[in-house]
Amino acid sequence: MEGYPLEASTKALALERPGSFDPVEAIKHGFLHFKREKFDKFPEFYEELAKGQNPKFMVFACSDSRVNPSHVLNFHPGDAFSFRNIANMVPPYDQPLACPSMEGYPLEASTKALALERPGSFDPVEAIKHGFLHFKREKFDKFPEFYEELAKGQNPKFMVFACSDSRVNPSHVLNFHPGDAFSFRNIANMVPPYDQTRYSGVGAALEYGVKHLGVGLYRCSELNCKTNLTVECILVFGHSLCGGIEGLMSLPADGSTSTSGCMSKLLQKQRCGSFTQSALLQTRKSKPHTNAINLSLGNRTTRFFDFAVIGSGVAGLRYALEVAKHGSVAVITKAEPHESNTNYAQGGVSAVLCPSDSVESHMRDTIVAGAHLCDEETVRVVCTEGPDRIRELIAMGASFDHGEDGNLHLAREGGHSHHRIVHAADMTGREIERALLEAVINDPNIHVFEHHFGIDLLTSQVVRFISKVTLLASGGAGHIYPSTTNPLVATGDGIAMAHRAQAVISNMEFVQFHPTALADEGLPIKPPKRRENAFLITEAVRGDGGILYNLGMERFMPLYDEREELAPRDVVARSIDDQLKKGNDKYVLLDISHKPREEILSHFPNIAAECLKYGLDITQDPIPVVPAAHYMCGGVRAGLQGETNVKGLYVAGEVACTGLHGANRLASNSLLEALVFARRAVQPSIDDMISSPETFHMIDEASDSWARPVVPSALKSSVVSDILRTTARVRRELQSIMWEYVGIVRSTTRLETAERRIKELEVEWETYLFERGWEPTMVGLEACEMRNVFCCAKLVVSSALARHESRGLHYTVDFPHLEESKRLPTIIFPCSSVNSTWSSRQLQKQPIC
């Protein structure tokens, strides 16, 4: 069971002992049999439960609720626990078969009840009719004609099966129109229990659908199925670790214990098409995820939307919510929707909300921090519109900290002359992400595709998303360095895709290293393994009075800048780097312990909890910190509406270079920029969508001329394993080159060395791939990420070599001074030439087909 979600273990325990299900025993069973890190968020809570302690509250959640103890009623650890899918863990006979008060229940509740009531003759059309007739009518207002047709016994063109971990409905899967498809959420749980002896989860659902609901010419009389549905395509969505792709690939075809066959043979036998796995759904095995299997008679892997959004951070979600009022939207995200840089942002959002503050003051702070390379018009737009964007978030349900006077509590961070940082303790990004995701999930026009990895823009893919307008909001490229505060998904995919699509790239030399990431080497208890991303110690700690010391307990910031600990990030990072080199140390110390304990724990609960896990009490001891790659100030060049030089392509967030940050980003301006530009890109996107002369059919036909990427299914598993190991080694080597030669302090010689070694390493890696049978059209997550990491690393190095001065985040010992004559952005045009000029603020759009 190790590595499985909690509900898998508790469900197994419930099925094993159906007459005596004990929740405390179940949670203990889960706790003892799981990887410990699954419960790092609530260690004391689960330990108490493991000892048999009774919780004060118990929370039951059906599959439609993504909850944990902190999500329900803001309980603290020890107060509550949640069983996801608890309804399905209870033995069927514990559930009433008759549901006289079904009115208002979700559709699956009725179909499930009907299936349990009549396990030998489950008729999907009868079930959906039962649900339609017994529910409140408004539940189906989104698809009234569709459900009415089904209620009359009409056959759908497509059938969709989904296990409980997939949030799907007919419009969420392939943007079907009413009448084309229907979805059985929790279909695996509607199958009579005795059908689950051979297959579990999605496997059971698929077998049940193929054998008992009828597919194509095949129908089964064993269970007296009344309706033979003529179905062209079956889509199966499921949890990879609970019956998803990995499970289906090894399922026996005939129900025997042999593993030589698989479900695909059963489907092929019934003329149901081929079994294919989308290359865009390559995912890391270490994490549970949602996968999709397409089984079709024709090409059903092209999906049409009015708007496509790549990325699920604040920029992508905010944009999606606005354009969804005017058309269908696909939000395509590489991992879980919450896994974005936004979710990891601690400090807050800067905005002028205090009477003593002013837009001019915010502008001045931004321009000074950006080493006077900022675009003044952009700065004015963002600082002026920022307060309204904050108010919109609050209206959507985002909860920020308030002071004793009832007004928003405004913090101050490095580089700011006033208190203007709106925050939710030290977890601001998480709160913003929560509010936006909640709104997105409830919007019927927005369709979220988790664990879809974008390969290229405007080219046909194994799974193609064709839209009239695309917003890139995919974040930065922190993982071109070995230590970064960014999540694993930050591999520069959006910048690399845009570069290949001939978009203009700008200011890539300005990589911001956050001065204070937690230094694991300095913790009393060392983490058991290397972190995937460095833990950020927010700027607000210094804003609240935190002091930096070297290991000799000497305060050093006054030696470097009159603003001391409140100097901009580039200054503080270089100062720490200098101290580390002088003392040959691995970290410095950040001390906030002189502040009242209650204040520290109130303002920085997340940091305090993280440090305490490793034996460090920040209310008594200093925090070991070290700089880590944090933010890309450069990216895809954008105009004031987020437009690029590529027709129909808009950008927002860290992937974009709007001119706001110049040579260095001011603290807490990143979320602000994302909010403002996501909103500004809406109207021109709508105009583009409406005025586009091309139909989806025309775009689809045009893209058919492109070579289609394929998964490396022809390669032996041992070869693929070797390729993955080698790719991981190459990635570590590239990161090491970037840190050693393209870090906080640079030189021309070191940059040239980096340029040469990166090119050699890339050729070596590509040669290795092709020698082992890797074709140019083959794609996989690790290989595509590696390609993007190489691309972004080369863009950073070439941009750095083009700037013959030290400005902001780019500091070179060969040109240590700022040159007024060089106060121009670095531009990489599609022809790959690098220039330090910019001819026009308004970008010329070039169609790319």
The full DSSP string for 483-494 is SBSS-TT-S-HH
**Structure confidence at residue 280 (pLDDT):** 24
- CB count within 10 Å of CB 401 equals 18
**Structure confidence at residue 709 (pLDDT):** 65
Considering only residues 266 and 406, tell me which one the structure prediction assigns the higher pLDDT. Answer: 406
Q: What is the tens place of the pLDDT at every residue in 435-471?
A: 898 889 888 888 888 777 766 553 334 567 778 899 9
Give the rounded percent of residues in the chain with a pLDDT score beyond 70.
58
Instruction: Return the closest-CA partner of residue 543 out of 411, 425, 357.
Output: 411
Provide mean pLDDT across the span 133-152: 42
Write the secondary structure of 274-332 as one string of H (helix), E (strand) and C (coil).
EEEECHHHCCCCCCCCEEEEEEECCCCCEEEEEEEEECCCHHHHHHHHHHCCCCCEEEE
Q: What is the tens place of the pLDDT at every residue in 253-264?
A: 333 222 222 333
Provide mean pLDDT across the span 747-768: 95
The answer to which of 356-360, 583-587, 828-832, 841-845 has the lowest mean pLDDT is 841-845
The answer to the question of whether 165 is labelled as a binding residue is yes
- Look up tokens 């299914």; give the residue: 713
CA–CA dist 485, 465 (Å, integer): 30
**Structure confidence at residue 773 (pLDDT):** 87
Catalytic residues: 569
**Structure confidence at residue 754 (pLDDT):** 97
- Look up tokens 């972190």; give the residue: 531
CA–CA dist 109, 65 (Å, integer): 14
- Look up tokens 């033995």; give the residue: 91
**Structure confidence at residue 358 (pLDDT):** 96
The answer on pLDDT for 154 being more than 80 is no
Q: What is the tens place of the pLDDT at every residue in 37-59?
A: 344 444 554 455 455 554 443 33
**Structure confidence at residue 186 (pLDDT):** 34
CA–CA dist 740, 754 (Å, integer): 9
The answer to which of 62-66, 157-161, 260-264, 286-290 has the lowest mean pLDDT is 286-290
The answer to the question of whether 172 is labelled as a binding residue is no
CA–CA dist 438, 81 (Å, integer): 21
Provide mean pLDDT across the span 590-614: 92
Structure tokens at 758: 């990166």
Provide mean pLDDT across the span 257-284: 27
The answer to which of 203-212, 273-282, 639-648 has the lowest mean pLDDT is 273-282
Model confidence band, residue 727 (pLDDT cutoffs 50, 70, 90): very high
Provide mean pLDDT across the span 274-298: 24
Model confidence band, residue 516 (pLDDT cutoffs 50, 70, 90): very high
Structure tokens at 201: 């989860």
Top-confidence range, 98-102, 175-179, 569-573: 569-573
**Structure confidence at residue 597 (pLDDT):** 93
Considering only residues 250 and 486, tell me which one the structure prediction assigns the higher pLDDT. Answer: 486
Residues of the chain within CATH 3.90.700.10 domain(s) are 512-630
Provide mean pLDDT across the span 631-660: 95
Which whole-number Å values give the CA distances from 354 to 182, 363, 399, 421, 718, in the listed order? 52, 15, 18, 10, 62
Provide mean pLDDT across the span 550-554: 95
**Structure confidence at residue 75 (pLDDT):** 30
The answer to the question of whether 603 is labelled as a binding residue is no
The full DSSP string for 667-707 is TT-HHHHHHHHHHHTHHHHHHHHHH----HHHHHHHHTTSP
Q: Are 585 and 578 in contact (CB under 8 A)?
A: no
Write the secondary structure of 712-770 as one string of H (helix), E (strand) and C (coil).
CCCCCHHHHHHHHHHHHHHHHHHHHHHHHHCCCCECHHHHHHHHHHHHHHHHHHHHHHH
CATH fold of 512-630 reads Flavocytochrome C3; Chain A, domain 1 (3.90.700)
Q: What is the tens place of the pLDDT at every residue in 13-25?
A: 444 444 444 545 5
Q: Any idea what the Cα angle at residue 392 is, between residues 386 and 398, rounded to 5°?
A: 110
The answer to the question of whether 544 is labelled as a binding residue is no
Mean per-residue pLDDT of the chain: 69
Structure tokens at 797: 């190095």
Considering only residues 818 and 706, tell me which one the structure prediction assigns the higher pLDDT. Answer: 818
